[in-house]
A = this chain, B = another copy of it.
Amino acid sequence: MLLKQLREEVLEANLELVRRGLVLYTFGNASGVDREQGLVVIKPSGVDYDVLKPEHMVVTDLHGKIVEGTLRPSSDLDTHTLLYREFEQIGAVVHTHSEFATSFAQAGLPIPAFGTTHADYFYGPVPVTAPLSDAAIGGRYVHETGLAIVARFRGLDGSSPVDPLAVPACLVAGHAPFVWGKTAHDAAHNAVVLEAVARMAYRTIGLKANAGEVSQGLLDRHYFRKHGKDATYGQGNPS
C-alpha cells in the first residue's frame, strides 16, 4: 500500500473536521500530497466518516489519475490537484461547507481581518473568488473552481494578488471555503480556525456594520508571532 503515513494523516485530518463540527454527513474532504513521488492521497467520495480507514483513501497523480484505490475519489479532486500544481509549497488541502465561512462565500464577501485571532493565521482578509462564468460551470467545473482560486490569488481577476502561504484559505463565491497548509494536520487546523474567525467576523459586523480591520502593524505583529524564523509562540518549531 502506497504512502501509508500520508493516508493516516489525511484520514486524521478528515476526522478532525468532523470532531470540530465543520462537516455535516459527508460534506467535506481533505487530501495531502507527497511532493517527491508526485502523488496525492484523498478521501473517497460520499463514504461515511465513521467507517473510513486509511486503506479507503485514494491515491492519484497530480493530474487526478488514480494510481491506487478501488473507491471513487472525492468529487472535488480536480480542485485539489490544481491547487497542488499551482501552489507548489502547500502540502495539503481541505474543503468544507462550514457554516459561517460558507455564509461569507454565499454573500460573495471576503472575511475581513478584524482581530488578532485572524491575524495569527491569515495575513490579511480571506479573499473570495469572482463568480464562475456559465462557460466555466458548464465546462470542467471542478477544475475551473481551482482556476478561480488561483486567479484570485494571482490577481488575474482584477483584484490585488495574495500570497497563498500567508493567507492559506479562499472562499469560492456561492460555494464554500478551500483551505490549505504545509501538512494535512495544518490544513485541517487552519480550516477550524477559519470557521472560528468567520463566526467572530459575522458577530463583529452584526455589532458594527462598518467595523474597521486591524492595522497593518497589528497584522504584522500577530502573524509573525506565529510564523517565520522569529516566531515566539509555542515551544519552538520542530521544522
Task: Kindly state the separation between the CA atoms of A45 and B137 in the bound complex, as whole angstroms.
Answer: 46
A115: chain B residues within 8 A (beta carbon): 102, 105-106, 174-176
In the bound assembly, the distance between CA atoms of A237 and B133 in angstroms comes to 30
Q: What is the bound-complex CA distance between A6 and B71, given in angstroms?
A: 30
In contact, A97 and B109 (Cβ under 8 angstroms): no
Complex Cα spacing A218 to B174, Å: 9
Which residues of B have CB within 8 Å of A192?
Answer: 24-25
Which residues of chain B have C-beta atoms less than 8 A from A200's C-beta? Answer: 97, 99, 102-103, 106
Q: Given that A206-B206, A207-B107, A217-B134 are contacting pairs, would A97 and B72 also be in contact in the complex, using a CB cutoff of 8 Å? A: no
Q: How far does the Cβ of A22 sit from chain B's closest Cβ, in whole Å?
A: 12
Using a CB–CB distance below 8 Å, which chain A residues touch chain B? 24-27, 44-47, 71-72, 75, 97, 99-100, 102-109, 114-117, 131-132, 134, 137-138, 141, 174-176, 189, 192-193, 196, 199-208, 211-212, 214-215, 217-218, 221, 225, 232-236
Sample 24 A-B pairs with CB under 8 A, ordered by A number.
Answer: A24-B193, A25-B192, A44-B235, A46-B233, A47-B235, A97-B200, A99-B203, A102-B115, A103-B200, A103-B203, A103-B207, A106-B200, A106-B211, A107-B204, A115-B175, A115-B176, A116-B174, A116-B175, A116-B176, A131-B215, A138-B217, A174-B214, A174-B218, A206-B206
